[in-house]
Amino acid sequence: MEFTEALQRKLGLKTVTYKYNLNKDQLFLEAIANDRGRVRAGGPDTEAKAYATKLGIKGPLVFYTDHNCTGRPVNDTFAVAWPEVEGEIWWKDNLQKYDPEKYQGLLKRVVHYLNERKATLYVQDVYAGADPIYSVPYRFVGEYATHAMFARNMFPKHVDGVEGVEQKRWTMLNVPSFRCEPQRDGSRSDLAVIIDFRNQICLVAGRADYCGVVKKTIFTVMNFLMPSQGFLSMHCSGNIGSSGDTAIMFGLSGTGKTTLSADPERKLIGDDEAGWTGSGVSNLEDGCYAKLIDLDKQAEPIIAAALSMEGTIIENVPPLWDKPLEQTDPQELDLNDRSITENTRFSYPLTCNPNVADGARGGHPRTIVMLTADAFGVLPPVSILEGKQAMYHFVQGFTAKVAGTEVGLKEPQATFSACFGGPFMSHRPSVYAELLHENMETHKSRCVLLNTGWHGGPAGKVPRISIRDTRALLNAALRGDLHARGMEYEEHPVLHLRMPKHCPGVDSHLLNPRSAWPDKADYDAAAQKLCDMFRQNFDQNGFAGFGIEPVM
């Protein structure tokens, strides 16, 4: 079936014009010529949103979102409460129920709006998932060429062996120029991101033009579909060492998934989303979406180099005050400038990395790393997790949420996000925990909790743990040094975490966080406060009822 006929049948689009599967150069030029919308507070909806740099088409596209949507609009993200899925979905503040009747009316209005305007829409056919056993065909249909380019960057274009493509296909209809009316449409504001599991549609209506919506929405879908097939979907990065040892790293945005997975000594599987099946780990993506704020180019040379590569998208990094973007080399951009948002971003194809695993796949993980960025400065830089401890910390998903990752978040704050990706985990946490436990037991995976946050005091008073030290700790974990026979440990008296007493390349004083605090009584009080937060979150979510043991 032709895609035009398919879209008419699925959505009712009849009088629109399509620009189908344009290549990156074509999308680059289309974005600069045609992507228009609001950028500034109080600004018009006619401003340019996409720009070239001095490198022109051979360099990155620079894109600016609506000033109110520089992160995922979590309070405006929904799933349609169809009867057949209502009891399975994990409903929460950042995935709320949408009334089926209201949704159907809204979808019809959005389609009528596009037909009436005879809109031009960009279409990209890609896949979510590199492994054909679970891969889902994903069709992006939207008003912005930048979003189509982002979809082309971030997802596999071809996956051989996928059966029943049309039956499995999901479609995103992305219409930033539409305005929802809450009283009429059932939305909370003038925008809504809605997942329709019955009809396999993702509807984005309104100024939700942060590029991450294009990927995180379909990953919420994958997190619902894959467990029903017996596969574990994970918010993690992954890579492979020279001996074929696969590692995965769970973590929320800003904890180091992208930075730490980009290792020139290891082959990259992916930096953010992966699946674990009977044959091993595979990437759900074909690109990387990295945070740019305060990027240390010497410590992160792979990401820095990709800034100047063609086919990439720089999101919400402000222009220089004394030079227009078309005269600016990408390497001149001020990556410390947070005047638009803390959540400046960068999308680039996986091939921008110099060392990518064949097929973006690896074997069963030898090492599992749970990343956290502790704003309180309490957690050890590295801890050994075994059995029930691993499940406990997995469902808790503690970190310091970095400002700007979500709309309305202005300062770093401690948070718990189940499975290190709570907002887009569409099943209850126990579903993923059970699959992780089964896989770890079957494949004898070792596990560590790696803290990439602050040491010696709380955030704002002390520096963050250096990337050099974090990498040394990570490399020791990947080599198995921290689990080696003869390794000595001490147990944290409050958190009951096992801390190694030494690690190659790391000052042993770093390994016990209490020793770095000038006032030990202050540390003890902070540790007890954090422990109480863990216990409170555990009880509030009823994790004990899912068979998770309270190890704190």
- Convert 187-209 into a string of H (helix), E (strand) and C (coil): CCCCCEEEEECCCCEEEEECCCC
Where exactly does CATH 3.40.449.10 map onto the chain?
A: 17-42+69-229
Where exactly does CATH 3.90.228.20 map onto the chain?
A: 245-251+364-546
Chain segment 204-226, per-residue pLDDT in tens: 999 999 999 999 999 999 999 99
Write out the two tokens for 476. Answer: 């020791």
Instruction: Please check the confidence at residue 376 and state whether its pLDDT lies above 70.
Output: yes
Q: How far apart are CA 416 and CA 537, in angstroms?
A: 7
Res 262: pLDDT: 83
Mean pLDDT of the residues in the chain: 94
Instruction: Please check the confidence at residue 350 and state whether its pLDDT lies above 70.
Output: yes
Q: How far apart are CA 78 and CA 206, in angstroms?
A: 14
Res 408: pLDDT: 57
Res 258: pLDDT: 83
Q: How far apart are CA 490 and CA 494, in angstroms?
A: 12
Res 414: pLDDT: 74
Does the structural domain 17-42+69-229 have CATH classification 2.40.110.10? Answer: no
Total-model pTM: 0.92
Write out the two tokens for 44. Answer: 């018009």
**Looking at the annotation, which residues are catalytic?**
72, 216, 235, 253, 257-258, 272, 345
SS3 of residue 538 by DSSP: helix
pLDDT band at 353 (very low <50, low <70, confident <90, very high): confident
Instruction: Please check the confidence at residue 88 and state whether its pLDDT lies above 80.
Output: yes
pLDDT band at 407 (very low <50, low <70, confident <90, very high): low
The dotted CATH code for 245-251+364-546 is 3.90.228.20
SS3 of residue 74 by DSSP: helix
Instruction: Please check the confidence at residue 172 and state whether its pLDDT lies above 70.
Output: yes
Instruction: Please check the confidence at residue 246 and state whether its pLDDT lies above 50.
Output: yes
Res 402: pLDDT: 46
Chain segment 490-543, per-residue pLDDT in tens: 999 999 999 999 999 999 989 999 999 999 999 999 999 999 999 999 999 999
Sequence letter at residue 274: A
Res 387: pLDDT: 87
Of 265-269, 350-354, 357-361, 420-424, the one with minimum mean pLDDT is 350-354
Res 1: pLDDT: 57
Question: Comparing C-alpha atoms, which of 530, 166, 482, 194 is closest to residue 377?
Answer: 530
Question: Comparing C-alpha atoms, which of 102, 65, 64 is closest to residue 82?
Answer: 102
